[in-house]
């Protein structure tokens, strides 16, 4: 008894220290927001989405001409060649030169490569958006799992505390019966042993609560010393019966239609196919239109800088460029092979994902049906255990039953309450798991 009391005292001091720390009131939606800000995978995927946006924008702007301005400033020392009255004169002078130009290049025909790359970039961007949605659903699911576990632990602590208080009151009654000569001394010792056992049960329940609360705190990445205080979740009778009448085939169809990660993979497969076609376009001739404007200034010419740059030396060049690929060190073939392998890999991922979706839904459906049956059985179990305990308690009070009967009935009653609490939260969690497997998590 002294050891048990010492353990409880230490635990109370520990819990009191926690309460002395900063307490953060949280509901489920707020917990999700904290998790989204702290989750590394979600933030990385969100950052990668920014790259996909710019890749799509670059593919769109690839339809426009490329334009560049170039300029050079340099000095030449030594022999300079000049044409004077039809003759080449070589002089040893210093020549300051300024040159500049404008070049424009516009692809006219490249076998649809620009259009295919634009379509692939758009598909990749949409796929990334779907992947981000699925990542968010994963975070919501992870938070729900930890959040509900903490609420369940709190309920189990409440049940254990209430049971301990009842048994302590029972101990006082038995001590009164012993003093009055109604019960034997062994009943008092047995009840003292039962109270000590329940004190240990309460200690274990509180430790489990603190561990799961720490797990949630760590997942939310709360500041050191901040302990969340969770808002309870209200359960209605309809919460656990949403999918009660649905069969497996219907649920699989719902998942195939709603899972954003499946939509993401379909888009990635299509984008990879577009990339193959874009790579093959490099096998065919390409036609580009170009325009160049160039001018320069030299210090060997005595005319003014502006006159040389804008009137004397400007040159305009406009034309078309035809490029027919003959041999380019196997680079085009390599690009096609890479694109084809990427397409094959994405197809394999799509097939694997379809199998995983079926397994996810199947397991979720089985667990949901089991949780639903446990939920119904738990209600019957609690009612029966309560009635049995009341009957045995009355017989014990009248001296018609033993302490063993009373302790057994109480243990069954407490176990029934714990099972019912676990059944309620388990059913609610299994519904959350089912929604996650079907891809309809909010």
The residue extents of the domains of the chain are 2-38+110-284+328-438
pLDDT digits (tens, 9 = 90+) for 207-224: 999 999 999 999 999 888
pLDDT number for residue 83:
59
Please choose, from the candidates 160, 166, 165, the residue with its C-alpha nearest in 3D space to the C-alpha of residue 201.
Answer: 160
**Cβ neighbours around 257 below 10 Å, total:** 12
pLDDT number for residue 18:
44
Sheet strands side by side (includes 286-298)? 66-84, 87-109, 286-298, 315-323
pLDDT number for residue 270:
96
Give the whole-angstrom CA distance, residue 349 versus residue 342. 11
| Highest-scoring range by mean pLDDT, 6-10, 241-245, 302-306 | 302-306
| Highest-scoring range by mean pLDDT, 154-158, 396-400, 409-413 | 154-158
Mean pLDDT, residues 166-178 taken together: 85
Q: Are 27 and 147 in contact (CB under 8 A)?
A: no
pLDDT digits (tens, 9 = 90+) for 295-350: 989 887 888 989 988 998 999 999 999 999 998 888 899 999 999 999 999 999 99
pLDDT number for residue 95:
83
Mean pLDDT, residues 264-276 taken together: 95
pLDDT number for residue 10:
54
DSSP 8-state class, residue 281: G
> What is the CA 228 to chain-centroid distance, rounded?
21
pLDDT digits (tens, 9 = 90+) for 66-118: 999 999 998 888 776 665 555 666 677 788 889 999 999 999 998 888 999 99
pLDDT number for residue 11:
53
Concatenated DSSP letters of 178-206: HHTTSS-HHHHHHHHHHHHHHHHHHHHHH
pLDDT digits (tens, 9 = 90+) for 112-168: 889 999 999 999 999 999 999 999 999 999 999 999 999 999 989 988 998 899 889
Q: Are 191 and 403 in contact (CB under 8 A)?
A: yes
Distances (CA, A) of 405 to 31, 46, 283, 339, 381: 46, 61, 89, 75, 18
The set of residues, in sequence order, having a beta carbon less than 8 Å from that of 407 and lying 6+ positions away, is: 190, 191, 194
Please choose, from the candidates 396, 386, 11, 413, the residue with its C-alpha nearest in 3D space to the C-alpha of residue 199.
Answer: 11
Reported as a pLDDT band with limits 50, 70 and 90, residue 239 is: low
β-partners of residue 226 are 22
Concatenated DSSP letters of 131-149: HHHHHHHHHHHHHHHHHHH
Reported as a pLDDT band with limits 50, 70 and 90, residue 423 is: confident
Least confident among 2-6, 77-81, 281-285, 374-378: 2-6
Choice between 1 and 391, residue whose per-residue pLDDT is larger: 391
What average pLDDT does the chain have? 87
pLDDT number for residue 240:
52
Pick the CATH number of 2-38+110-284+328-438 from 2.30.130.10, 1.20.1600.10, 1.10.10.10, 1.20.1640.10: 1.20.1600.10
Residue 65 has pLDDT above 60, yes or no: yes
pLDDT number for residue 19:
47
Name the token pair of 368: 């949901």
Residue 292 has pLDDT above 70, yes or no: yes
């Amino acid at each position: 008894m002294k050891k048990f009391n010492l353990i409880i005292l230490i635990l109370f001091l520990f819990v009191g220290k926690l309460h002395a720390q900063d307490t953060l009131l949280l509901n489920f939606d707020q917990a999700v927001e904290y998790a989204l800000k702290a989750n590394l995978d979600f933030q990385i995927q969100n950052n990668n989405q920014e790259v996909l946006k710019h890749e799509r924008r670059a593919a769109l702007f690839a339809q426009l001409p490329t334009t560049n301005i170039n300029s050079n400033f340099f000095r030449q020392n030594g022999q300079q060649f000049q044409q004077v009255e039809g003759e080449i004169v070589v002089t040893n002078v210093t020549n300051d030169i300024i040159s500049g130009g404008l070049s424009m290049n516009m692809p006219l025909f490249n076998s649809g490569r620009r259009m295919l790359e634009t379509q692939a970039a758009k598909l990749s961007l949409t796929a990334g958006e779907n992947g981000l949605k699925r990542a968010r659903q994963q975070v919501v699911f992870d938070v729900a799992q930890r959040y509900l576990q903490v609420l369940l632990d709190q309920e189990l602590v409440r049940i254990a505390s209430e049971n301990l208080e009842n048994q302590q009151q029972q101990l006082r009654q038995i001590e009164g019966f012993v003093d009055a000569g109604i019960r034997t001394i062994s009943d008092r010792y047995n009840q003292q042993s039962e109270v000590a056992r329940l004190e240990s049960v309460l200690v274990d329940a509180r430790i489990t609560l603190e561990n799961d609360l720490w797990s949630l705190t760590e997942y939310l990445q709360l500041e050191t010393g901040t302990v969340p205080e969770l808002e309870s979740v209200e359960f209605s009778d309809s919460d656990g019966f949403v999918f009660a009448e649905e069969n497996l085939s219907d649920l699989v169809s719902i998942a195939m239609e709603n899972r954003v990660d499946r939509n993401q993979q379909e888009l990635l497969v299509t984008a990879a196919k577009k990339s193959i076609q874009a790579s093959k376009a490099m096998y065919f001739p390409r036609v580009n239109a170009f325009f160049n404007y160039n001018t320069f200034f030299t210090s060997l010419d005595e005319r003014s800088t502006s006159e040389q740059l804008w009137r004397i030396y400007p040159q305009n060049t406009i034309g078309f460029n035809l490029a027919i690929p003959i041999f380019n060190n196997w680079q085009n073939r390599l690009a096609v092979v890479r694109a084809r392998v990427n397409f094959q890999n994405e197809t394999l991922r799509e097939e694997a994902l379809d199998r995983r979706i079926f397994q996810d839904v199947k397991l979720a459906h089985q667990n949901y049906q089991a949780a639903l049956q446990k939920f119904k059985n738990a209600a019957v179990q609690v009612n029966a255990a309560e009635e049995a305990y009341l009957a045995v308690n009355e017989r014990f009070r009248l001296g018609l039953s033993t302490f063993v009967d009373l302790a057994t009935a109480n243990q069954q009653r407490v176990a029934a309450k714990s099972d019912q609490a676990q059944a309620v939260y388990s059913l609610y969690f299994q519904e959350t798991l089912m929604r996650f497997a079907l891809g309809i998590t909010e």
